[in-house]
Structure 1
Amino acid sequence: MDEGEKGKLKWNRRAAVCKRAVSSFLAVWMVVMTLGTAASYAASDNKSDTGAGVSAAPGGSFTLGDGVAAAILIDAATGQVLYEQNADQPRPPASMTKMMTEYIVLEKIKNKQLTWDTMVTTSKEAASTPVDGSQIYLAEGDQHSVEDLYIAMAVGSANDATIALASHIAGSEAGFVDLMNETAATLGLKTARFTGATGLQADTIITARDTAKLAEIILREDPDFLKYSSIPSYKFRPRDTKPMINWNWMLESNKDVTNFKQFAYEGVDGMKTGYIAESGYNFTGTAERNGMRLISVVMGAKTMQSRFFETAKLFDYGFNNFESKTIVAPKSVVENVKTVKISKGAKTNVAVVTETDVTFLVRKGGESKVEVLETKVKPADELVAPIPAGEPVGTVTYAYTDGSGKQLQKTVNLVTSEEAKKGSWWRLMFRGVRNFFAGLFSGIVDLF
């Protein structure tokens, strides 16, 4: 074998070794990639699809039953949304419509235009209410107090009592509907379109979000609402053989009632159920625990019972996973706005602090970040001494970012923390002279 053949044989051996090494590497690489892909698919399969608008709970995910068409859960104190599902889809609210009727009645009482003792004469329109819904069988000319009719509406969802109140306030149900829509516009309920006072009409529509907003407004402005919405039963007339039973089976007071104790939920004291064939079963509820009040809305549930079970899921989610956290105490000093300039004071500025606290519902155990997003203060020429302590002089906006990256914002007033007394004429004169020469000197320096 000559030298050329020996070299060729040696090269072929080396090539074979390299080929085997490359083949082995590729085989190992394919195994690793296959295992990695499998692990990736396994990890992906273990992730729960929470769906649109569904918030993930710590340690897992949270979803409502398939039968719910729309839902929302909010903090009653701030309106902060904790969960939502199709919350911006307008739907018939059915008898949840009566919350607007109740709100208007409460506002009339608050403004001294009605009293609870005002006697209402049942109109022909009210006495002619169709019998295919809840009612107390009013006859034309019957007289009952506003309070009795209100309770019949709030507890028994009585349609005839609702129309009796509506026609008393506005002359007719149609006139009252105009008032309902005017009120909705004033309150910022952009999706609400009312065509009746009772909710029997399928073309009355509103979103879950706006329904929750209405509930929030009622609870904030009319605390008497809960006094009536929490009544478990009520005998409308002395001669009635049975009392009306509250359609809200979740009332905490039902915990010892045989038929309802499976639905009773700790802290529930309102608000309103609703059903017509076009809407499915609806419920706006509210519950308070340890100083934290939540509002829930469930729309389009398939059964009378499921609307309560799904509401209980919402409340469990809220109370189990969130806590109220004060991130800024009242009367706190803002680092970059410790004082504001004023005019004609003994001093040229006055110390300021936050008027109220800044509180959010935050995930339990989650990390958080708080920052001052914006400050605004009035100019000195608008803040003329004397100025009392506690006088609003500006605002500060705080941003809170939770562990998931979601940002919440709240704006509070900046107020004076002490009285700013007016300066004496002597002090103000010398301050004016000093400022004049300071300005003059500055102008001269600028010439050079």
Structure 2
Amino acid sequence: MEIPIWTVMKLTMVMIHLVRAACSSVVLLILPFVVLAKQPSAKVTLDEATRQAGYTLELGRIDLGIQPDSLVTATKAWVRRVKNYPDLPNHLRAISPVYSFTIQDEIDWLTIPLQLQYHLKGKKYKYDRSIYYYDTTSETWKELDSIVSRSDQTVTTEWGALHAQIVVAADTTDPFGPSKIKQFSEFGSVAAASAIVLDEATGDVLYSSHPDSERSIASMTKLMTAYVLFQEGIDLDAIATYHDSYDQVGGSLRVSEGETMTMGDLMYAMVVGSANNAAYALVGNAGYSLDEFIDSMNEVALELGLEHTIFADPSGLAVGNISTAHEYAKLMRAVLQNDTLAEMSATSYYEFTTLNYGNFHDFNNTNPLLWTSGLEITGSKTGYIDEALYCLAMRVEQDDHAIITVVMGAPTLNDRTTESYRLVNWAFDNYAW
């Protein structure tokens, strides 16, 4: 029998309504437990049962947790991404989108606070992170007390507001230090008399062995010499004249009385080639007497808070150039803020020709790890005299994080190089930022 077209249409409409009703029932059943919210906003109407049980509203990586019985009445709640919002101050770097949330209720403030949680999803950041809200009264972004879980990769806070704009941001003035990974492995002992590894951003000590033992630092002294000269405004393009009075024993630049070069050439010779006579030539051509300059070195050390660091000459030949592994690491943190000096110290090879005699000079950096290790070394200085034994300080970067290693009093050149290399790899393998 043929069914009239009108009957078919009516049956079709009935089926559509049944499907819609069924789908609506399913949605009502699952809403209290799951919210699929990849869209720019998420909202929910809370019935009495859900108000009593509590509810988590999710939008992307942000969770808005309404605690059980925290609301007075059954109500509506929503959260959405905001495109137009007040500018963040310069020191804050937004990690999340800016969100706006609203909960309708008879009360103005929740005595049982909301739980706000943002999922970082494995992202690494150099600086501390918190949840911030926009205070409409002061028209400023204000920080909420937040807990960062590195294992769960979340930022969480509790707050009683019913309406606000919020964002997760990193405070670039407050570095966020590294933490040990779950499979952390101790480094063990070193052959060197003292050693330390610091996180550059925070100064956190990641490893140490006799870090406060006072020892002669040999040619690592030269970084302070360079730093003081830069602080005094050295002109690297200025012409310097060499005099025999600058001659020193040990590693030296082979130049003669009256030979001329730039102050920059001398700086590279001192920092890269560790030439002792270059240190004295720099001091003399900068217009200082030796005593005046040594006084300046010690004044700067005190300004940096280095209470166990003393300088006796600009080259490091004197046994009386003293520091500790910990204090020298602090010195490295300060010195390497000068980008020009940092770049010089990590230069593998340098060459120049004297201006008046035309004599060619070249030298490799005294730290072979610069070209053999594959490490991203962005600051370096070696040292050796009999009393100090073998010393090496480095800044090494990986994944936008930097550490400083200092090894002092290593028995052999190989110990100095090998232990520095192992400390770097151990630190990056066993800490997460």
TM-score if structure 2 supplies the norm length?
Answer: 0.55
1:277: how far off? 0.6
Matched residue SS, 1:88 = coil
Equivalent in the alignment of 2:431: 322
The 4+ residue runs of structure 1 with deviation greater than 4 A are 238-242
Matched residue SS, 1:243 = strand
* Alpha-carbon separation, structure 2, partners of 1:57 and 1:118: 54
Equivalent in the alignment of 1:117: 237
Aligned partner of 1:196: which letter? D
Distance 1:208 1:56, change over 3 A: farther
Choose which of 343, 350, 368 in structure 2 pairs with 1:234: 350
Equivalent in the alignment of 2:403: 294
* Percentage of identical aligned residues: 34
1:105 counterpart = 2:226:
no
Matched residue SS, 1:163 = helix
1:76-107 residue CA offsets vs partner (Å, 9 max, x unmatched): 11211111111101100000000101111222
Q: How many equivalent residue pairs?
A: 251
Equivalent in the alignment of 1:370: none
Distance 1:116 1:60, change over 3 A: closer
Matched-pair contact (CA < 8 Å) for 2:196–2:325: yes
* Alpha-carbon separation, structure 1, partners of 2:182 and 2:367: 27
Q: Which has the larger radius of gyration?
A: 1
Matched residue SS, 2:215 = coil
Matched-pair contact (CA < 8 Å) for 1:98–1:162: yes
Equivalent in the alignment of 2:199: 75
1:59: how far off? 4.5
- Name whichever structure is richer in strand by fraction: 2
Matched-pair contact (CA < 8 Å) for 2:379–2:394: yes
1:139: how far off? 2.5
Equivalent in the alignment of 1:271: 380
Distance 1:206 1:57, change over 3 A: farther
Matched residue SS, 2:323 = coil
* Alpha-carbon separation, structure 1, partners of 2:258 and 2:302: 34
Matched-pair contact (CA < 8 Å) for 1:272–1:283: yes
Choose which of 167, 188, 191 in structure 1 pairs with 2:284: 167
Distance 1:179 1:214, change over 3 A: same
Cα RMSD (Å) = 2.0
Map 1:218-257 to 2 at 5 A: 218-220=335-337, 222-237=338-353, 243-251=362-370, 254=371
* Alpha-carbon separation, structure 2, partners of 1:83 and 1:193: 24
1:226: how far off? 2.4
Matched-pair contact (CA < 8 Å) for 1:57–1:317: no
Matched-pair contact (CA < 8 Å) for 1:56–1:62: no
Aligned partner of 2:283: which letter? A
1:238-274 residue CA offsets vs partner (Å, 9 max, x unmatched): 76566201111111xx1xxxxxx3xx24211321000
Equivalent in the alignment of 1:151: 268
Aligned partner of 1:224: which letter? T
Equivalent in the alignment of 1:210: 327
* Alpha-carbon separation, structure 2, partners of 1:179 and 1:295: 25
1:357-376 residue CA offsets vs partner (Å, 9 max, x unmatched): xxxxxxxxxxxxxxxxxxxx
Matched-pair contact (CA < 8 Å) for 1:236–1:244: no
Unmatched runs of 5 consecutive residues or more in structure 1 = 1-54, 255-260, 325-448
* Alpha-carbon separation, structure 1, partners of 2:263 and 2:324: 29
Distance 1:211 1:145, change over 3 A: same
1:167: how far off? 1.9
* Alpha-carbon separation, structure 1, partners of 2:257 and 2:288: 15
Equivalent in the alignment of 1:350: none
Equivalent in the alignment of 1:26: none
Matched residue SS, 2:353 = coil
1:134: how far off? 0.9
Equivalent in the alignment of 2:311: 194
Matched residue SS, 1:244 = strand
